[in-house]
Every structure is written in C-alpha cells, then in structure tokens.
Amino acid sequence: MSELIGEPESATNPAPDAPAPGPAAALDIDRVSFGYPGRRVLDEVSLRVRPGEFVALVGLNGCGKSTLLRLAAGVLRPESGRVSVDGADMTRISRRDAARKVALLHQSAPAVPGLTVRQLVRQGRYAARGPLGMLRVGDDAVTVRAMRDVGVEEWADRPVEALSGGERQRVRLALALAQDTPVLLLDEPTTYLDLRHQLEVLRLVARLRDERRLTVLMVLHDLDMAARFAERLVALRNGRVAAEGPPDQVVTPALLREVFGVEGRVGRDPEHGWPVCYPDRPAPIEIDNGFH
C-alpha cells in the first residue's frame, strides 16, 4: 500500500529570497506579465530553468501555461519583464534567431495533405538553412539524426496524415529536434494519446534530454505523469506561480485543493518513490476575476 504524504499548511512551496548560486540559467523568465484584450493571463511570473533541467508546468486550464511557453519561445512579447535564453533577450532578436535557440512543440497541428514525414521534419531546419537552403535536395545530417533519434526514419516517405496519433507526435518531436536547439519547449505533448503512447512519448523525451543534454520545459495536464518524469514542478494558479520545487515536495493534498480544486490524497509509488495522486471530489477554488 502506498505511503500517504502529509499535508502542509499551504500549497505554496517557500522560495528563497534570491536564486541559489550555480550555473547560469538556460532559460530565465524574470517578472513577466502578459494579457490578451480583456483578460489578464500572467502577472509578474519568474522562472529560471538550469541547463539540462527537466521542468514541468502544471495547473488548471487557462492559468497561463501555454502562454508562458510562447513567451519563452519568443512567439509572444511580454508586456513587462524579460525573457532570456542563454543570456540573449528574446524580445531583441529576430524570430529566426529565436528559433535557433528554442524549439517549441505546440499542442497539435493539422496534417498537411500529402506531406511526408521527411518533408515535415525538414521544416525544422528553416532557421539554420534559410529559404534557399530548404530548396536543396536531400536531408542534412541534423534532419537524419532527428528522425533516427525518435525512431521514425523508416516512415520517412510515408504521408503524415496516414500515421496514428502516437506516430504523428513522434514525428512532430523529430521536427522540434531538427531545429537543433539547446532548449526544448513542449506544450502538452501527450494530448489525445492513450496511456501507452503517453508513456512512450514521455520516456522518449526523457531519453533524448539525457542523450542530447537538452533543457526541457514541458506543459502537462496529468499531474502524476509530471511528477514521474520531471525533476521540478512549477504550478501556476491565476497567472502566478503557486508552488515550485521537486515533485515529492510540491505534490501534496494542499496543492490538489488550492491549485487544482480537488480534495484528495497523495501517496508514493512503492517501487520508485514518486508522488501518486488519489483525487476524491471537487473542492471550492477561488478564481481571480482578472485571471480566468
């Protein structure tokens, strides 16, 4: 039987007043705020991801997770605050230069009729090769490695639309890897996948992180999966960081109640020790009208 984790007074994990000394952050999000017309999404969010770290963003729908990834990739510009990758301000560089530093895998993308796996993965080389380079016949070594690393090389000439959901997600991961960036941002990479394919994709990401020494920031809805694969969890609530730290410190009954609006229990996997959630019933949750 799993050991139950006790409940602290608050879901918020106390943070030090200043970052601990160590290597420079691969990704540094400093007091970033952002909103869409009529809706505030993020309010002075700060997050530092160290080189080679695997961090998962968790929280309810609409709390700002996907928006934070787009800001980190330079797709969106913050209203205030700063986003930097390896010391470069993402608001001061071109989109092409940003794509050389960060690869963003969106939640989903429609398959283009007739587009083959090889043709899709090649598109990841645009930032490096440019429009003229994309017209060259043949794959470069980075494209070949990306397809090989995720195990889709044998499908290279198959239409993407003919693949299953799990297979398409692996191809899209190869597309992101083909950008050959040190930072990989994944927005719900397991969306619409069954349990087998969820595990397959997340195990693949973990392996590639180790082999390529990537820095990974990933949005996940499944808290159990996030706690299993990520080294650190960052929970967002109402556009702010509500809790941050190692999974075994962050995932508590208080987090379930205050961040996810669920009364429940938290145990530990008896073999590996990672937190396992047992949700029981919905709980009242306070929603800030400016963040919904």
User: Would the pTM of this model clear 0.75, i.e. be above it?
Assistant: yes
Judge whether 34 and 61 are in contact, CB under 8 Å. Answer: no
Question: What was the pLDDT predicted at 230?
Answer: 98
- Quick one: average pLDDT of 223-239? 97
Instruction: Flag whether pLDDT at 133 surpasses 70.
Output: no
Judge whether 291 and 43 are in contact, CB under 8 Å. Answer: yes
Q: CA-CA distance, 209 to 205, in Å (whole number)?
A: 6
Question: What was the pLDDT predicted at 126?
Answer: 84
Share of the chain above pLDDT 90, in %: 75
SS3 80: strand
Q: CA-CA distance, 115 to 222, in Å (whole number)?
A: 31
Judge whether 234 and 244 are in contact, CB under 8 Å. Answer: yes
- Quick one: average pLDDT of 237-248? 96
Q: What average pLDDT does the structure give for the chain? A: 88
Rounded (5°) CA angle 106-107-113: 80
- Rounded to the nearest 10 degrees, what angle do helices 195-212 and 165-177 cross at? 20
Instruction: Flag whether pLDDT at 17 surpasses 50.
Output: no
Instruction: Flag whether pLDDT at 292 surpasses 50.
Output: no
Which domains does the chain possess? 27-108+181-282 (3.40.50.300)
Q: Of 35-44, 79-88, 134-143, 157-166, which gets the smallest average pLDDT?
A: 134-143
Question: What was the pLDDT predicted at 121?
Answer: 94
CA distances from 166 to 96, 169, 221 (A): 29, 5, 17
